């Protein structure tokens, strides 16, 4: 039996196993969620925040002091630069992008009769792209490198095309490649808004979704430069808006989200949000502050997550190496944190790979999902999300995936 | 000492008391909040909803089944017509109005180059007005009567002015007058969208904020007709969007909100929301379902609220009657539920009354706040919110207010 036949017979055998495997979404596993079970009854009848607020009642868009300290730690800024929100940082991003359109942030609103566009380093986070698309932004793809977005292309766009309004960034353990932006990239990103100093009607924003700031599971732990400090040097702080959340720290669907920004930006955002809600859930903010306690508590808690995640990510590396190593048909990332492994298969075969996987009982994120409009021009990138499945399932799934990648490459 | 001098000397004495009274916002009192203290530890480590969902993880825009049952009860519709959200029904309203503008709901989006306007029965809820204003709607005032909005004026606007897009309604124990819409009004409101049958590019919506559906504290308990049933007769269900929340049932800032709508409308809203969040806080939804249990549980819980509220509202009536009864300078409402008493003072003296009150240490909602743009054309309406203050403070505050109303009327 030659290698092709052997591959086919392995694939046939796999399809006949009746597998039901899923590597689609970046959800924490049940064992990770369980780590925060103490969150639910941490309050013990004491609902008052350190400033005396009864968190159960209405009011307070900015959030209670102790949870803003947690957000400050996640973002590496001062708590006076933090607004604490509800259970969804994506929602805060959506609100801010919506605000750019209809209100403006530290500047003019984007004119409704002009085209607007968002720079989308890709592969990237599909929900960023979908949110911007719904808000009427054209999605412009720029390549993601190992050190962050291709800044030559980004700078060219910002310099030459006034219809570009902002860039999406996941600066640490980026979704899905796992890369962390290097010093030069952070500095160049912080400088982008200054390129529009001469055209104040067309401000440019950097939306900094630091979703994985404390989500390390292996060495070396990358160090992300402070974009806030770089922005201070460039005088661009009003145009850098940062985001974080506890969703992948405590309960994925019931965490606390954060915005980090300049005093002026936060004041404007707070006022804007004040027309759409009386306030976020402060009881849940208090639960989180009491449960996480502070930097040391977060560090200890994230170490427990790392224990759960490390074997799963190791299984992905081991499986991919076994099936695809040294064949010249695939490359993949080896992250030390975050939630994903990014797999580049032979150009033109990502969709086919996903189809083969599906037929064999393995659901993977749709090929192309990591690119604007779900359209990967090379049809090459696949996102592997190994956190939600059990370790056994991850191992089985990666074997299936490897076989499918090879079969697709041969066809 | 004549009556004027006697009034002045009472006012002077009151100002010298160093009072610090507040009748501004419709917040539940601490004793009301405490009624739901069991909400926080009701889960006892069981985080799974009746359909097996681990509520702690991501996903599920529509909400868990058992909380949708609660929303269905609050709105008097089927649970398949309910989407359960986060802690703010105002936020859900904002999202829906935003959707009318940029996406459309069961019809065309509102064109960005055309003027758009919202019909605002007044006196009404200031946050409704502010939300619509922020979203670019011109606010059109129509009078509120004892049986609901003046439907002659509303129908005239909907028939003759295609730039009117929706009407705000608080149909039961209306904010602030406390009135409940009568059968004829509900029927006419349900029929409004049908007036636009011939101009499908200009749909008209009824936004039905049933915030006080179970918030009765005295007899007679008014019966609100089902707008859903009336809409079925008129074939307008897609254009009637209902809202409710548990904010004034459990914890004001940490409740669960609801949208009620047609299958088509909910599908579209769910998809729209899906681009701005991965889902609402399902753990808190589960807490609420377990704590409130069902219709009987809600009834029993609301009876406890009524016990707390009844003496405060009685004190308002008693105080206003004592100070202002039979003087021909003021009228006020005597609600059997909800959160407010609406006081109409001598035209042209509401602002002055509020100033006098403030100088005497009593904060009341700014005169005009119950009208679009904060502008009461008669300068006559004041909203009294007696729930948050203690009973003693309510009694003192109403005395101060009565004296101020009389002084302003004499000047």
User: Are the beta carbons of B84 and B256 closer than 8 angstroms?
Assistant: yes
B185: helix, coil or strand?
helix
Overall average pLDDT of the B115-143 stretch: 97
Six token digits for residue A201: 């009607």
pLDDT band at B2 (very low <50, low <70, confident <90, very high): confident
Q: Peptide bond before A216: cis, by omega within 30 degrees of 0? A: no
* pLDDT for the residue A91: 98
Nearest CA in chain A to B26: A58
Q: What are the b/e assignments for B357-385, b being 16+ CB within 10 Å?
A: beebbbebbbbbbbbbeeebeebbbbbbb
Token digits for A264?
A: 């002026």
* Structure confidence at residue A151 (pLDDT): 98
Q: What does the pLDDT read at residue A254?
A: 98
Which residues from B are below 8 Å from A47, CB to CB? 40
Asked if A276 and B251 come within 8 Å (Cβ–Cβ), the reply is no
Do the chains contact at B40 and A27, CB–CB below 8 Å?
no
Query: Cβ contacts (< 8 Å) between B33 and chain A: which residues?
Result: 54, 56-57
The answer to whether residue B113 scores a pLDDT higher than 80 is no
Q: What is the pLDDT of residues A290-309, one digit of tens each?
A: 999 999 999 999 999 999 99
Q: How many residues does chain A have?
A: 411
E strand segments, B128-255: 138-145, 148-149, 164-169, 205-209, 240-245
Q: Scanning the structure block, which residue is given the tokens 């592997």?
A: A384
A207 membership: H or E segment, kind and range: strand A205-209
Quickly tell me which residue has 């994925």 as its tokens: A252
Mutate to test the interface with A, among B43, B44, B56, B387 (most CBs of A within 10 A): B56
Task: Tell me which residue in A30, A58, A253 faces B253 most closely, judged by beta carbons.
Answer: A58
pLDDT of residue B411: 79
Phi-psi region of B232 (alpha: psi -120 to 50; beta: other; left: phi over 0): alpha
For the segment B67-89, the average pLDDT, to the nearest whole number, is: 98
B119 forms beta bridges with B140, B167
Q: What is the C-alpha to C-alpha distance for residues B250 and B256, in angstroms, rounded to an integer?
A: 9
What would the mean pLDDT of A354-375 be, rounded to a whole number? 95
Q: What is the ipTM of this complex?
A: 0.96
Q: Given this model, what pLDDT does residue B381 score?
A: 97
Average pLDDT over residues A43-61: 96
- pLDDT category at A411 given cuts 50, 70, 90 is confident
Cβ contact B233:B197 at 8 Å:
no
H helical segments located in A206-292 = 227-234, 263-273, 282-292
Q: Do B131 and A103 touch (CB under 8 A)?
A: no
Pick from A27, A102, A254: CB nearest B283: A254
pTM value is 0.97
The pLDDT, as a whole number, for residue B205 is: 98
Residue-level length of chain B: 411
pLDDT exceeds 80 at position A381 = yes
Kindly report, residue by residue over B179-207, the tens digit of the pLDDT: 999 999 999 999 999 999 999 889 999 99
Each residue of A228-253: pLDDT tens digit?
Answer: 999 999 999 999 999 999 999 999 99
Taking contacts as CB-CB distances below 8 angstroms, the residues of chain A near B134 are: 102-103, 272, 275-276
Question: Is B254's CB within 8 Å of A91's CB?
Answer: no
The pLDDT assigned to A402 comes to: 97
| pLDDT of B276 over the 90 cut | yes
d(CA B323, CA B384): 15
Q: What is the pLDDT at residue A66?
A: 98
Task: State the smallest CA–CA distance between residue B173 and chain A in angstroms.
Answer: 20
Distance from CA of A268 to the nearest CA of B (A): 13
Q: Which residue of A has its CA nearest to B271?
A: A134
Q: Which residue of A has its CA nearest to B276?
A: A91
Q: Does position A111 have pLDDT exceeding 80, yes or no?
A: no
Looking at the predicted structure, is the pLDDT value of residue A32 above 90?
yes
Find the CB nearest A45 among B37, B276, B280: B37
Chain A environment of B254 (Cβ under 8 Å)? 55-56, 281-284
């Amino acid at each position: 039996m030659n290698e092709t036949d052997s591959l086919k017979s392995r694939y046939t055998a796999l399809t006949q196993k009746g597998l039901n495997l899923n590597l689609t979404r970046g959800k924490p596993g049940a064992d990770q969620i369980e780590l925060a079970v103490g969150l639910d009854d941490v309050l013990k009848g004491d609902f008052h925040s350190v400033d005396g607020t009864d968190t159960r009642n209405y009011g307070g868009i900015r959030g209670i002091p102790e949870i803003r300290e947690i957000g400050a730690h996640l973002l590496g800024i001062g708590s006076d630069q933090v607004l604490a929100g509800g259970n969804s940082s994506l929602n805060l991003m959506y609100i801010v992008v919506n605000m750019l359109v209809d209100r403006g942030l530290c500047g003019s609103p984007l004119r409704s009769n002009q085209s607007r566009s968002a720079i989308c380093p890709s592969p990237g986070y599909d929900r960023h792209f979908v949110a911007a698309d719904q808000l009427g932004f054209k999605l412009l793809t720029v390549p993601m490198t190992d050190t962050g977005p291709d800044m030559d292309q980004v700078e060219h766009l910002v310099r030459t095309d006034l219809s570009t309004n902002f860039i999406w960034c996941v600066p640490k353990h980026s979704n899905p490649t796992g890369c962390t932006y290097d010093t030069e990239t952070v500095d160049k990103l912080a400088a982008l808004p200054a390129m529009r100093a001469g055209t104040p009607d067309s401000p440019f924003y950097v939306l900094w979704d630091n979703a994985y700031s404390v989500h390390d599971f292996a060495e070396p732990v990358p160090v992300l430069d402070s974009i806030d400090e770089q922005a201070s040097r460039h005088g661009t702080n009003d145009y850098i808006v940062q985001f974080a959340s506890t969703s992948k720290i405590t309960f994925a669907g019931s965490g606390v989200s954060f915005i980090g920004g300049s005093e002026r930006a936060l004041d404007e955002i707070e006022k804007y949000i004040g027309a759409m809600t009386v306030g976020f859930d402060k009881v849940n903010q208090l639960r989180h502050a009491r449960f996480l306690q502070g930097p040391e508590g977060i560090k200890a808690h994230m170490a427990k997550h790392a224990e759960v995640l490390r074997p799963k990510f190791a299984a992905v590396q081991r499986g991919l190496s076994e099936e695809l190593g040294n064949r010249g048909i695939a490359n993949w990332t080896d992250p030390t944190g975050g939630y994903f492994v990014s797999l580049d298969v032979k150009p033109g075969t990502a969709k086919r790979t996903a189809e083969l996987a599906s037929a064999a009982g393995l659901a993977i994120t749709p090929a192309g999902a990591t690119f604007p409009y779900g359209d990967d021009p090379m049809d090459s990138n696949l996102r592997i999300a190994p956190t939600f499945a059990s370790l056994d399932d991850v191992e089985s799934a990666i074997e299936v995936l490897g076989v499918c990648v090879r079969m697709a490459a041969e066809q």
